[in-house]
Amino acid sequence: MSRSDPTAPVIVWFRQDLRLKDNPALHHAVESGKPVIAVFVLDEASPDVRIFGAAQKWWLHHSLEQLKEALAKLNVQLLLLKGPAEAVIETLRIDTGADTIVWNRRYGAGEQAVDASIKQAFADRGLTARSFNGLLMHEPARVRTGSGTFYKVYTPFWRKFSAEAVVRSPLPAPAEIRPALHKAASDTLKDWALLPVSPDWSGGINAEWTPGELGAEQRLETFLNQNLGAYNEARDRPGPDRTSKLSPHLRFGEISPHTLWQACFDGRWAAEGLAREVWAKELVWREFSYHLLHNFPGLGESNFQNKFDGFPWRQDPEALRLWQTGQTGYPIVDAGMRQLWQTGWMHNRVRMIVGSFLVKHLMIDWREGERWFWDCLVDGDPASNTASWQWIAGTGADAAPYFRIFNPMMQGGRFDRTGEYVRQYVPELAALPDKHLHTPWEAPEQALLDAGIALGETYPLPMVDHKDARERALGALNSIK
Ligand SMILES: Cc1cc2nc3c(=O)[nH]c(=O)nc-3n(C[C@H](O)[C@H](O)[C@H](O)COP(=O)(O)OP(=O)(O)OC[C@H]3O[C@@H](n4cnc5c(N)ncnc54)[C@H](O)[C@@H]3O)c2cc1C
């Protein structure tokens, strides 16, 4: 079988790009005219390849279902194979006689090691393995400082990115695909048991999301019509949707960042330049997170600033449990943790508040928080989650300094002034007047009685005193200076 054999199939390996539109690898395969094999590999066996968290597995199941259906309409079967990717792809290559494989690049160190091995194995046999840029607007290695190093601070990264940004136009979905005839066996989604069964905790997630390429497009359209115009003013307020909520769709590549960039600057949608620029900057935060991950592959495990290696993190499983279950006694923190548990997502401002609370008020290692988020978030992202946790912990590259400790009462009062968010997720406080909502322990006894609240019984007292916790955290910071 030679490289130029037009009858030999090309394998399109779907990974973080579960879409047909603007999928460069798929586009290339279709353009080549070769018969196409589509595959997704569930790899829970290769070293250092990160296994999906539970909420992501729920998303993956539904997203693959959608992709399978979309490909089936083009007469292509999506093969579902499980195992270490290198061995799985090798078997598939032999079984089908494929002489080419294509994929869109991913950036975790373990994942890149797998991809490099497969590329090498294909090259050793005189076969073709080609990779494309589909996950990011720019390759993370491409954006460089004047002296050729990588960026550690966001603002200059943004300046460079926006000055140089030539984001390619999105590619169309293929109208036709030449399917390969083969007898390779496939698992079923049921075999992979990605959905929770006992207990099935996915009710709130089911009600909130529509995974898949169509769901992503609908979400984008709604955002552009309803929220882009006021994005710069409203994005920091949790409660009813004011941001795009596209993060899980981006995480699984159901829509490309190129498509979003183009939509952001499309004159058809009513929005001031500032609103567009503020949203574009968020899209570039995602690129920056991948830039950091690419240049600091240990981002998920090691403090970016190694002076934090000696930080006296506390081991306190009970405190961790209270934080995870939204029982800290700080309403905005509890609302956030419960939103996460119920819907698989949390508003960005509240992610910062709960993250700061864990790392500073409770002095629990940011990696515990990162892992909990990874398991609970439908958008749990290998770059954005780790970079953001290091940012909030003060251990990161361009981090909020450790001594900046979010005050949950002030944050709540400022960003959830009328309490719509806390009332939604902490219903036991719903009847409390606005002025006491973020500090129920300071409310007069009568106000609590009228609202049907018995502190310590129907809603917890604060698990730590804000002032004491703040001083303890600052003392710990001094110990590593
Ligand atoms: C502790 C912590 C953990 C986080 N973990 C994740 C994660 O696992 N996955 C994830 O996608 N985002 C994460 N973020 C970033 C951010 O909270 C989410 O991207 C955002 O809330 C998603 O909502 P949206 O789609 O409505 O965003 P929008 O406000 O509509 O922004 C559009 C897109 O820009 C990107 N974006 C926005 N803010 C950021 C940011 N600060 N960093 C990186 N990308 C950003 C996202 O892809 C988002 O979908 C985390 C933030 C914190 C503080």
Average pLDDT, integer, range 459-476: 97
Rounded to whole angstroms, what are the CA distances from 82 to 88, 91, 179, 274? 7, 12, 22, 46
What span, in angstroms and rounded, lies between the C-alpha atoms of 45 and 437?
Answer: 47
Catalytic residue among 192, 201, 313, 441: 313
Question: Is 244 touching ligand 1 by the criterion CB < 6 Å?
Answer: yes
Average pLDDT, integer, range 79-97: 98
Secondary structure class of 455 (helix, strand, coil): strand
113's enclosing H/E stretch is: helix 109-124
What span, in angstroms and rounded, lies between the C-alpha atoms of 9 and 94?
Answer: 11
Does CATH place domain 136-169+213-295 in 1.25.40.80? Answer: yes
CB within 8 A of 410, min separation 6: which ones? Answer: none
**What residue ranges in 86-244 does DSSP mark as E strands?**
100-104, 128-132
Average pLDDT of the residues of the chain: 96
At residue 26 the predicted structure's pLDDT band, cuts being 50, 70 and 90, is: very high
What span, in angstroms and rounded, lies between the C-alpha atoms of 90 and 54?
Answer: 28
Secondary structure class of 430 (helix, strand, coil): coil
What span, in angstroms and rounded, lies between the C-alpha atoms of 290 and 210?
Answer: 25
What span, in angstroms and rounded, lies between the C-alpha atoms of 54 and 194?
Answer: 8
Catalytic residue among 13, 261, 341, 389: 389
CA-nearest of 127, 40, 119, 53 to 80 is 40
Question: Is 283 touching ligand 1 by the criterion CB < 6 Å?
Answer: yes
Q: Is the pLDDT of residue 10 over 50?
A: yes
Higher-scoring residue by pLDDT: 398, 146: 146
At residue 1 the predicted structure's pLDDT band, cuts being 50, 70 and 90, is: very low
What token pair was written down for 256? Answer: 């490309």
Which residues make beta-bridge pairs with 110?
none
For 265, other C-beta atoms within 10 Å of its C-beta total: 14
Q: Is the pLDDT of residue 287 over 90?
A: yes
336 alpha carbon to ligand 1 midpoint, in Å? 14
Question: Is 86 touching ligand 1 by the criterion CB < 6 Å?
Answer: no
pLDDT computed for residue 224 by the predictor: 96
Known catalytic residue: 366? yes
Single-letter code of the amino acid located at 305:
Q
Average pLDDT, integer, range 271-299: 95
What token pair was written down for 303? Answer: 């403090």
Known catalytic residue: 282? yes
Question: Out of 162-171, 180-189, 328-337, which region has the weakest mean confidence (pLDDT)?
Answer: 162-171
pLDDT computed for residue 177 by the predictor: 98
CB within 8 A of 429, min separation 6: which ones? Answer: 331, 422, 423, 437, 440, 451, 453, 459
pTM: 0.97
What span, in angstroms and rounded, lies between the C-alpha atoms of 339 and 351?
Answer: 10
What token pair was written down for 406? Answer: 């979010």
DSSP assignment letter at 365: -
What token pair was written down for 464? Answer: 């730590």
What span, in angstroms and rounded, lies between the C-alpha atoms of 290 and 136?
Answer: 8
Single-letter code of the amino acid located at 175:
A
Q: Is the pLDDT of residue 327 over 80?
A: yes
CATH T-level assignment (fold) for domain 10-134: Rossmann fold (3.40.50)
348 alpha carbon to ligand 1 midpoint, in Å? 6
Average pLDDT, integer, range 154-179: 92
CA 220: distance to chain centroid? 16
11 CB burial (10 A radius; 0-12, 13-18, 19+): buried
Kindly report the CA angle at 96 between 93 and 101, in degrees rounded to 5?
Answer: 45
The answer to whether the peptide bond before residue 9 is cis (omega within 30 degrees of 0) is no
CB within 8 A of 87, min separation 6: which ones? Answer: none
Known catalytic residue: 279? no
At residue 68 the predicted structure's pLDDT band, cuts being 50, 70 and 90, is: very high
pLDDT computed for residue 403 by the predictor: 86
Question: Is 250 touching ligand 1 by the criterion CB < 6 Å?
Answer: yes
Sequence spans of domains, the chain: 10-134, 136-169+213-295, 306-479
- Match 């590329």 to its residue by tokens: 119
Catalytic residue among 285, 295, 420, 441: 285
What token pair was written down for 10? Answer: 């090309």
3-state secondary structure string across 228-288? HHHHHHHCCCCCCCCCCCCHHHHHCCCCCHHHHHHHHCCCCCCCCHHHHHHHHHHHHHHHH
Catalytic residue among 90, 208, 277, 282: 282
pLDDT computed for residue 332 by the predictor: 98
CA torsion sign, 14 to 16 to 19 to 20? negative
Q: The domain 306-479: what is its CATH number? A: 1.10.579.10
423 alpha carbon to ligand 1 midpoint, in Å? 23
92 alpha carbon to ligand 1 midpoint, in Å? 36
Maximum separation of any 2 CA atoms in the chain, in Å: 83
pLDDT computed for residue 271 by the predictor: 80
pLDDT computed for residue 2 by the predictor: 43
Known catalytic residue: 457? no
How confident is the model over 392-450, as pLDDT tens digits?
999 988 777 888 899 999 999 999 999 999 999 999 999 999 999 999 999 999 999 99
Catalytic residue among 133, 206, 348, 407: 348
pLDDT computed for residue 250 by the predictor: 98
What span, in angstroms and rounded, lies between the C-alpha atoms of 342 and 439?
Answer: 24
148 alpha carbon to ligand 1 midpoint, in Å? 28
pLDDT computed for residue 173 by the predictor: 98
What token pair was written down for 66? Answer: 């959608």
For 421, other C-beta atoms within 10 Å of its C-beta total: 24
Q: Is the pLDDT of residue 27 over 50?
A: yes
Assess contact for 381 and 253: CB atoms under 8 A. no
Question: Is 246 touching ligand 1 by the criterion CB < 6 Å?
Answer: yes
Which of 135, 251, 347, 348 to mutate to test ligand 1, by most ligand atoms within 8 A of the CB atom? Answer: 348
At residue 4 the predicted structure's pLDDT band, cuts being 50, 70 and 90, is: low
Q: Is the pLDDT of residue 84 over 80?
A: yes
Higher-scoring residue by pLDDT: 5, 99: 99
pLDDT computed for residue 400 by the predictor: 75
pLDDT computed for residue 219 by the predictor: 98
Average pLDDT, integer, range 227-245: 96
Helix-helix angle 213-226:54-72, to 10 degrees: 100
pLDDT computed for residue 418 by the predictor: 95
pLDDT computed for residue 269 by the predictor: 83
Question: Is 71 touching ligand 1 by the criterion CB < 6 Å?
Answer: no
104 alpha carbon to ligand 1 midpoint, in Å? 22
Which residues make beta-bridge pairs with 14?
40
